[in-house]
Chain A
Amino acid sequence: MASEPTALSPDELRRRCDPAALDFATTDDLEPLDSLIGQERAIEAIRLSAGMRHRRFNLFVLGPEGSGRHAAVARLLAEAAGERPAPDDWVYVHDFDAPDRPRALRLPRGAGPKLRRAMAELIDDLAQGIPALFESEEYQSRRAAIEEEFGGRNEKAFSELAQRARERGVAILRTPMGFALAPVKDGEVQKPEVIEKLPEAERKAIRENVAKTQEELSGFLESLPRIEKEHRAAIAALNAEMAEQVVDLNLADLRAEFAGIKALEAHFDALRKDLIANAELFLKAGSQRGEGAFPIAPAHIHDTPRFHRYAVNVMVSHAEDAIGAPVVVESLPTLSNLTGRVEYMQQMGTLVTDVTLIRPGALHKANGGYLVLDARRVLTEPFAWDALKRCLETAEIRMIGAGERLGLSATGTLEPEPVPLDLRVALVGDRFLHLLLEKHDPEFAQLFTVTAEFGPDMDRRAESMALFARQVAAVVRRECLRPVTADGVAALIEIASREADDREKLSLVLSRLWDVLREADHHAREDGAETVDRAHIEGAEAARLRRIDRVAERMQEMIARGTVMIDTRGSVVGQVNGLTVASLGAARFGWPARITARVRLGAGQVVDIEREVKLGGPIHSKGVLILSGYLSTHYLPETPLSLWASLVFEQSYGGVEGDSASVAELCALLSALAGVPLSQSLAVTGSVNQLGAVQPVGGVNEKIEGFFDACSAQGLTGRQGVLIPRRNADSLMLHADVVEAVADGRFQIHAIDHVDQALELLTGLPAGRRGLNGEFATGSVNANVEARLIDFAEARRDFGRMVAQAERRDDD
Chain B
Amino acid sequence: MTTETRSEAASRRVLLFAGCYADAGPAIGLAVTLAQQMQAALEGVLALDPRMEAAEGAALVMAGRARGTTLALSRERLSLAYAADARAFRSRLDAAAARLSIRWSFRTDTGALPDLALGLRRPGDAVILGHRRFLPLRGPVIALEEGEDGPAARLARDLARALKLRARVLPAGTPAAALEPLAISALILPQSVQDDPARLVALIDAARCPVLLSPAG
A and B co-occur in one complex = yes
Residue of B nearest to A137 (CB): B166
A179 and B60 contact, CB distance less than 8 A = yes
Asked whether any CB of chain A lies closer than 8 Å to the CB of B9, the reply is no
Within 8 A of A (CB), among B103-132: none
A148 interface neighbour in B52, B85, B183, B206, Cβ under 8 Å: B183
B133 and A174 contact, CB distance less than 8 A = no
B135 interface neighbour in A154, A175, A183, A191, Cβ under 8 Å: A154
Asked whether any CB of chain B lies closer than 8 Å to the CB of A71, the reply is no
B63 and A221 contact, CB distance less than 8 A = yes
In angstroms, Cα B82 to Cα A218, docked, is 22
Asked whether any CB of chain B lies closer than 8 Å to the CB of A135, the reply is yes
Residue of A nearest to B88 (CB): A176
Within 8 A of B (CB), among A197-244: 210-211, 214, 217-219, 221-222, 224-225, 227-228, 231
Taking A151-B135, A152-B180, A224-B134 as contacts, is the C-beta distance between A176 and B51 under 8 angstroms?
no
Contact with B along A140-176 (1 / 0, CB 8 A): 1001100110111011101100100000000101111
Chain B residues whose C-beta falls within 8 Å of the C-beta of A222 in the assembled complex? 67-68
Asked whether any CB of chain A lies closer than 8 Å to the CB of B144, the reply is no
- Min CB–CB distance A189 → chain B (angstroms): 4
- Min CB–CB distance A232 → chain B (angstroms): 9
- Min CB–CB distance B106 → chain A (angstroms): 15
Q: Which of A174, A192, A222 has the most CB of B within 10 A?
A: A174
Taking A156-B180, A287-B164 as contacts, is the C-beta distance between A180 and B63 under 8 angstroms?
no
In angstroms, Cα B164 to Cα A158, docked, is 29
B57 and A192 contact, CB distance less than 8 A = yes
A181 and B61 contact, CB distance less than 8 A = yes
- Min CB–CB distance A673 → chain B (angstroms): 103
Q: Number of contacting residues on B, CB 8 A?
A: 50
B55 interface neighbour in A173, A227, A287, A291, Cβ under 8 Å: A173
- Min CB–CB distance B142 → chain A (angstroms): 11
B181 interface neighbour in A155, A177, A190, A219, Cβ under 8 Å: A155
A177 and B64 contact, CB distance less than 8 A = yes
Q: Across the A-B interface, how many residue pairs have beta carbons closer than 8 Å?
A: 148
Chain A residues whose C-beta falls within 8 Å of the C-beta of B100 in the assembled complex? 291
B181 and A148 contact, CB distance less than 8 A = yes
A147 and B138 contact, CB distance less than 8 A = yes
Q: Which of A154, A227, A291 has the most CB of B within 10 A?
A: A154
Chain B residues whose C-beta falls within 8 Å of the C-beta of A152 in the assembled complex? 180-183
Taking A155-B180, A218-B68 as contacts, is the C-beta distance between A181 and B135 under 8 angstroms?
no
B52 and A173 contact, CB distance less than 8 A = yes
Q: Which of B21, B67, B136 has the most CB of A within 10 A?
A: B67
Chain B residues whose C-beta falls within 8 Å of the C-beta of A774 in the assembled complex? none
Q: Number of contacting residues on A, CB 8 A?
A: 50
Chain A residues whose C-beta falls within 8 Å of the C-beta of B181 in the assembled complex? 148, 151-152, 155-156
B73 and A176 contact, CB distance less than 8 A = no
Chain B residues whose C-beta falls within 8 Å of the C-beta of A260 in the assembled complex? none
Within 8 A of A (CB), among B70-124: 70, 73, 77-78, 81-82, 84-85, 99-100
Contact with B along A436-469 (1 / 0, CB 8 A): 0000000000000000000000000000000000
B55 and A189 contact, CB distance less than 8 A = yes
A178 and B67 contact, CB distance less than 8 A = yes
In angstroms, Cα B63 to Cα A310, docked, is 40
Asked whether any CB of chain A lies closer than 8 Å to the CB of B26, the reply is no
Residue of B nearest to A172 (CB): B61
In angstroms, Cα B68 to Cα A178, docked, is 9
In angstroms, Cα B63 to Cα A158, docked, is 14
Residue of B nearest to A135 (CB): B164
Asked whether any CB of chain B lies closer than 8 Å to the CB of A292, the reply is yes
Q: Which of B59, B99, B136, B181 has the most CB of A within 10 A?
A: B59
B61 and A218 contact, CB distance less than 8 A = yes
In angstroms, Cα B131 to Cα A531, docked, is 97
A178 interface neighbour in B60, B99, B138, B182, Cβ under 8 Å: B60
Asked whether any CB of chain B lies closer than 8 Å to the CB of A182, the reply is yes
Chain B residues whose C-beta falls within 8 Å of the C-beta of A171 in the assembled complex? 51
A147 and B183 contact, CB distance less than 8 A = yes
Residue of A nearest to B60 (CB): A180
- Min CB–CB distance B57 → chain A (angstroms): 5
B59 and A214 contact, CB distance less than 8 A = yes
B99 and A291 contact, CB distance less than 8 A = yes
B135 and A231 contact, CB distance less than 8 A = yes
B68 interface neighbour in A147, A176, A181, A221, Cβ under 8 Å: A221
Contact with A along B1-45 (1 / 0, CB 8 A): 000000000000000000111110000000000000000000000
Chain B residues whose C-beta falls within 8 Å of the C-beta of A177 in the assembled complex? 60, 62-64, 77-78, 81
A179 and B135 contact, CB distance less than 8 A = no
- Min CB–CB distance A686 → chain B (angstroms): 91
In angstroms, Cα B85 to Cα A210, docked, is 27
A180 interface neighbour in B55, B69, B133, B137, Cβ under 8 Å: B55
Chain B residues whose C-beta falls within 8 Å of the C-beta of A150 in the assembled complex? 135, 137, 183
B137 and A151 contact, CB distance less than 8 A = yes
Within 8 A of A (CB), among B137-184: 137-140, 164, 166, 180-183
Taking A180-B59, A191-B54, A214-B61 as contacts, is the C-beta distance between A154 and B81 under 8 angstroms?
no
A154 interface neighbour in B57, B66, B134, B140, Cβ under 8 Å: B134
Chain A residues whose C-beta falls within 8 Å of the C-beta of B23 in the assembled complex? 174
Residue of A nearest to B58 (CB): A182
Residue of B nearest to A190 (CB): B54
Residue of B nearest to A219 (CB): B68
Taking A143-B138, A175-B78, A190-B54 as contacts, is the C-beta distance between A221 and B49 under 8 angstroms?
no
A189 and B164 contact, CB distance less than 8 A = no
Chain A residues whose C-beta falls within 8 Å of the C-beta of B52 in the assembled complex? 173, 175, 180
A174 and B77 contact, CB distance less than 8 A = no
In angstroms, Cα B183 to Cα A143, docked, is 10
In angstroms, Cα B68 to Cα A150, docked, is 20
B20 and A174 contact, CB distance less than 8 A = yes
Chain B residues whose C-beta falls within 8 Å of the C-beta of A143 in the assembled complex? 138
In angstroms, Cα B188 to Cα A1, docked, is 129
Chain B residues whose C-beta falls within 8 Å of the C-beta of A144 in the assembled complex? 139-140, 166, 183
Chain B residues whose C-beta falls within 8 Å of the C-beta of A173 in the assembled complex? 49, 51-52, 55, 58
In angstroms, Cα B58 to Cα A210, docked, is 9
Chain A residues whose C-beta falls within 8 Å of the C-beta of B140 in the assembled complex? 140, 144
Chain A residues whose C-beta falls within 8 Å of the C-beta of B70 in the assembled complex? 214, 218
In angstroms, Cα B60 to Cα A179, docked, is 6
B135 and A227 contact, CB distance less than 8 A = yes
Chain A residues whose C-beta falls within 8 Å of the C-beta of B138 in the assembled complex? 143, 147
In angstroms, Cα B58 to Cα A286, docked, is 47
- Min CB–CB distance B61 → chain A (angstroms): 5
Chain B residues whose C-beta falls within 8 Å of the C-beta of A154 in the assembled complex? 133-135
B61 interface neighbour in A135, A183, A217, A286, Cβ under 8 Å: A217
In angstroms, Cα B191 to Cα A446, docked, is 91
In angstroms, Cα B206 to Cα A705, docked, is 113
In angstroms, Cα B55 to Cα A287, docked, is 43
In angstroms, Cα B21 to Cα A231, docked, is 23
In angstroms, Cα B183 to Cα A260, docked, is 48
Taking A159-B180, A173-B51, A221-B68 as contacts, is the C-beta distance between A178 and B139 under 8 angstroms?
no
Chain B residues whose C-beta falls within 8 Å of the C-beta of A214 in the assembled complex? 59, 61, 70
In angstroms, Cα B205 to Cα A672, docked, is 127
Residue of B nearest to A147 (CB): B183
Identify 19 residue pairs between A and B in the complex whose beta-carbon atoms are under 8 Å apart, listed by A's number: A140-B140, A140-B166, A150-B183, A151-B139, A151-B182, A155-B181, A159-B180, A159-B206, A162-B205, A173-B49, A177-B60, A177-B77, A178-B62, A192-B56, A192-B57, A221-B61, A221-B68, A231-B135, A286-B164
- Pairs A-B, 7 closest by C-beta atoms: A152-B181, A147-B183, A176-B81, A178-B63, A182-B55, A189-B54, A151-B183
- Chain B residues with CB under 8 Å of chain A are 19-23, 49, 51-52, 54-64, 66-70, 73, 77-78, 81-82, 84-85, 99-100, 133-140, 164, 166, 180-183, 205-206, 208
- Chain A residues with CB under 8 Å of chain B are 131, 135, 140, 143-144, 147-148, 150-152, 154-156, 158-159, 162, 171, 173-183, 188-192, 210-211, 214, 217-219, 221-222, 224-225, 227-228, 231, 286-287, 291-292
